[in-house]
Amino acid sequence: MKSKDFNEAPLAGTFFRFTIPVVCAGLISVAYNMVDTYFIALTGNTALVAGVSLISPIFTLMVAIGDMWGIGGSSMISRLFGEKDFGRAKKVSSFVYWGSILFGILVAVLMTAFQGPVLTLLGVTEETRAYARDYYFYIALGAPFMIFPLVPNNTLRAEGFTNASLVGTIIGAIVNIVLDPLLIFTFGLGAAGAAIATVIGNISTDIYYVIFILKKSRRMSIDPRLMKIPGSDIFGVLKIGIPGALTNLMSSFAGTLLNRSILPWGTDAVAALGIANKVNMITIMVMVGFGFGAQPLIGYAYGSGNRKRLWEVVRFNLLCESVVSLSLMAAIMIFAGPLVRIFMTDPSIVSYGTEMLRVLQCGMLFQGIVLVITCVFQSIGKGLGALLLSVGRQGVFLLIVLQVLSAAFGYYGVLASQPVSDVLTALLAVALLRHYTKKDPVLNRSQP
């Protein structure tokens, strides 16, 4: 890792060197999740598609837990690198790696033990229960393997290894895509086969990351003897990691809430929403890649007190998010029908899915603003700001807006609730950024 790459190198080239691999990794992740949906849809069984779709919030839960350790650790490590405290950063890396593994084991035990109540909470019906249960069981068992890779995916970028997350994701995707048709059709495992393929793909990624850390990384460690860190550092990780986790937990909550809200319109509508959400993730993951790919640059600039560089990165990030979100929104709105039809050709599902996808895309510009400002808060250690945005967008705002709009406009109110929540959260994000800019000496551009 060279300091010049973070603070002195030309901004555009450095920004894209850090963000493009994250964007590509996100798109590949979306691609192999969509492959799962594609192969499952090839069965022509709508109840199976709906059952697997209802389990999608569990993936968000896994991401949330992984990000609690990965985002929290990466944020702190980036700032420690900016302060040149490399020994302390290495200990933090060991703590978050082992913390994620131990927490993953706990999650697997709890999810397996409480399978019945969780499936009911997710909105599983008698028609979809058998398929949802098969898929859920293996995803629950694989929790430790699915949570761990999200940690090095974040922390290695803080050391300047921008391509590591991309390579790890590619390996997992290839394994998953090869195994999907074999396990679903050749071995006749159906939904269980798709879940097993996903878990094995993640195990492959885990192996790659462990080998990479042992052989390539100089500033990170998986030595368990280093994982003991002071309480202040644990708090430093968790005060950023927990809001980061809540961002995804709220996404899981929102997914469950929307799935349950759409149930009155039948299994076709639930299956269509699952497909629309998969396609919608194309835009979201590109935006997440640009928004959070810059986290090491912001954290390093903040840790070294480089106010000018910090604001250059933030402004450039907002510009990229605006251009990307509007471009992808236009393209997906135009091709919404054909994109849904890739998965299922049933006229009812295509009609539902096309409409849903277009409405979901309407809030993308505002999501971009929220992503960038959330990244700023996480990068500089402002846990409360990140927490408020996490709970706001897909928690408090969505819950209130969904109740109001669904009561007033029914089906279309349910669809419009997410974009309206995005607008409200963007307004909150701008207000919070202005507040912290006045209070923080590094952020405040008017101070000498």
Domains of the chain by residue range: 3-439
Predicted TM-score (pTM) of the model is 0.75
Tokens of 209: 């990351």
Give, for all 448 residues of the chain, the pLDDT tens digit: 455 566 677 888 889 988 898 888 878 877 766 777 778 878 878 888 878 878 877 887 888 899 889 989 998 998 899 888 999 999 999 999 999 999 999 999 999 999 999 999 888 888 889 899 999 999 999 999 999 999 998 899 888 888 888 899 889 989 998 998 999 898 989 889 989 999 999 999 999 999 999 999 999 999 999 999 999 999 999 988 888 787 777 776 777 777 778 888 887 888 888 888 888 888 888 898 888 888 888 888 888 888 888 899 999 999 999 999 999 999 999 999 999 898 778 888 889 889 989 998 998 999 999 999 998 998 888 878 888 887 877 778 888 898 899 888 888 888 888 899 999 999 999 999 999 888 887 777 554 4
d(CA 105, CA 103): 5
pLDDT for 274: 80
Task: Tell me which residue has tokens 């709009």.
Answer: 405
pLDDT for 411: 84
- Residue pair 39/194 in contact (Cβ under 8 Å)? The answer is yes
pLDDT for 202: 94
Q: 138-191 pLDDT, tens per residue?
A: 999 999 999 999 999 889 988 888 888 889 988 998 999 899 899 989 898 988
Q: Taking Cα atoms as reference points, which of 230, 222, 234, 241 lies closest to residue 98?
A: 222
- Rounded to the nearest 10°, the torsion over CA 189, 347, 54, 182 is 20
pLDDT for 18: 87
- Residue pair 402/257 in contact (Cβ under 8 Å)? The answer is yes
d(CA 408, CA 397): 16
pLDDT for 127: 87
pLDDT for 448: 45
Tokens of 149: 């890779």
- Residue pair 96/155 in contact (Cβ under 8 Å)? The answer is yes
- CA 7, 427, 280, 140 torsion: positive or negative? positive
Q: Taking Cα atoms as reference points, which of 42, 338, 24 lies closest to residue 170?
A: 24
Q: What percentage of the chain carries pLDDT values higher than 70?
A: 96
Q: How many CB atoms lie within 10 A of CB 213?
A: 21
Residues in the chain, overall count: 448
Q: How many CB atoms lie within 10 A of CB 218?
A: 9
Amino acid at 34: M
Amino acid at 44: G
d(CA 135, CA 196): 8
- Residue pair 275/346 in contact (Cβ under 8 Å)? The answer is no
d(CA 226, CA 280): 41
pLDDT for 292: 82
Amino acid at 327: S
pLDDT for 1: 47
d(CA 48, CA 275): 13
pLDDT for 293: 85
